[in-house]
Amino acid sequence: MPSPARRATVYLDPVIHKALKLKAVETDRSVSELINEAVRQSLMEDAEDLAAFEERVSEPLVSYEEMVKRLKTDGRL
Protein backbone atom coordinates (compact mmCIF):
# COMPACT_ATOMS: atom_id res chain seq x y z
CA MET A 1 0.00 0.00 0.00
CA PRO A 2 1.56 3.30 -1.03
CA SER A 3 2.19 5.84 1.68
CA PRO A 4 0.19 9.08 1.62
CA ALA A 5 1.62 11.94 -0.37
CA ARG A 6 3.89 14.39 1.46
CA ARG A 7 3.50 18.11 1.21
CA ALA A 8 6.49 20.21 0.15
CA THR A 9 7.02 23.82 -0.74
CA VAL A 10 8.70 24.25 -4.11
CA TYR A 11 9.54 27.63 -5.57
CA LEU A 12 9.16 27.66 -9.35
CA ASP A 13 10.11 30.22 -11.90
CA PRO A 14 6.88 32.07 -12.75
CA VAL A 15 7.11 31.14 -16.44
CA ILE A 16 7.62 27.46 -15.62
CA HIS A 17 4.71 27.57 -13.17
CA LYS A 18 2.45 29.07 -15.84
CA ALA A 19 3.54 26.41 -18.34
CA LEU A 20 2.85 23.67 -15.78
CA LYS A 21 -0.60 25.06 -15.04
CA LEU A 22 -1.42 25.17 -18.76
CA LYS A 23 -0.15 21.63 -19.27
CA ALA A 24 -2.16 20.46 -16.26
CA VAL A 25 -5.33 21.86 -17.80
CA GLU A 26 -4.53 20.43 -21.23
CA THR A 27 -3.75 16.95 -19.89
CA ASP A 28 -6.42 16.91 -17.16
CA ARG A 29 -3.75 16.28 -14.52
CA SER A 30 -2.66 18.25 -11.49
CA VAL A 31 0.53 20.28 -11.27
CA SER A 32 1.60 17.91 -8.48
CA GLU A 33 1.17 14.90 -10.78
CA LEU A 34 3.26 16.57 -13.48
CA ILE A 35 6.02 17.48 -11.03
CA ASN A 36 6.00 13.99 -9.48
CA GLU A 37 6.30 12.43 -12.93
CA ALA A 38 9.18 14.73 -13.91
CA VAL A 39 11.07 14.03 -10.69
CA ARG A 40 10.43 10.28 -11.03
CA GLN A 41 11.80 10.32 -14.59
CA SER A 42 14.86 12.28 -13.48
CA LEU A 43 15.56 9.79 -10.68
CA MET A 44 15.14 6.88 -13.10
CA GLU A 45 17.70 8.46 -15.43
CA ASP A 46 20.09 8.84 -12.50
CA ALA A 47 19.60 5.17 -11.61
CA GLU A 48 20.35 4.18 -15.22
CA ASP A 49 23.50 6.32 -15.21
CA LEU A 50 24.67 4.78 -11.94
CA ALA A 51 24.05 1.28 -13.32
CA ALA A 52 26.08 2.13 -16.43
CA PHE A 53 28.95 3.38 -14.24
CA GLU A 54 28.82 0.15 -12.24
CA GLU A 55 28.98 -1.92 -15.43
CA ARG A 56 32.10 -0.06 -16.55
CA VAL A 57 33.89 0.16 -13.20
CA SER A 58 36.50 -2.42 -14.23
CA GLU A 59 37.38 -0.68 -17.51
CA PRO A 60 40.77 1.02 -17.57
CA LEU A 61 40.86 4.79 -17.26
CA VAL A 62 41.96 6.78 -20.29
CA SER A 63 43.55 10.16 -19.75
CA TYR A 64 42.42 13.21 -21.67
CA GLU A 65 45.79 13.40 -23.42
CA GLU A 66 45.55 9.76 -24.50
CA MET A 67 42.03 10.30 -25.86
CA VAL A 68 43.16 13.32 -27.89
CA LYS A 69 46.04 11.25 -29.33
CA ARG A 70 43.60 8.47 -30.26
CA LEU A 71 41.26 10.93 -31.94
CA LYS A 72 44.13 12.42 -33.95
CA THR A 73 45.37 8.95 -34.92
CA ASP A 74 41.85 7.97 -36.06
CA GLY A 75 41.59 11.19 -38.11
CA ARG A 76 38.71 12.56 -36.05
CA LEU A 77 40.56 15.74 -35.11
- For 2-53, write each residue's pLDDT tens digit: 788 999 999 999 999 999 999 999 999 999 999 999 999 999 999 999 999 9
DSSP helix, strand, coil percent of the chain (3-state; round to 5): 65, 0, 35
- Is residue 46 assigned to a domain? yes
Q: Assess if residue 32 is contained within a domain.
A: yes
Residue among 17, 36, 13 at smallest CA distance from 25: 17
Closest CA to 30 of 40, 21, 17: 21
Domain hosting 65: range is 14-73
In a domain, 4, yes or no: no
Contact 71, 77 (CB under 8 A): yes
Would you say residue 1 lies in a domain? no
**Within-domain flag for 8:** no
**The pLDDT of residue 2:** 77
Number of domains forming the structure of the chain: 1
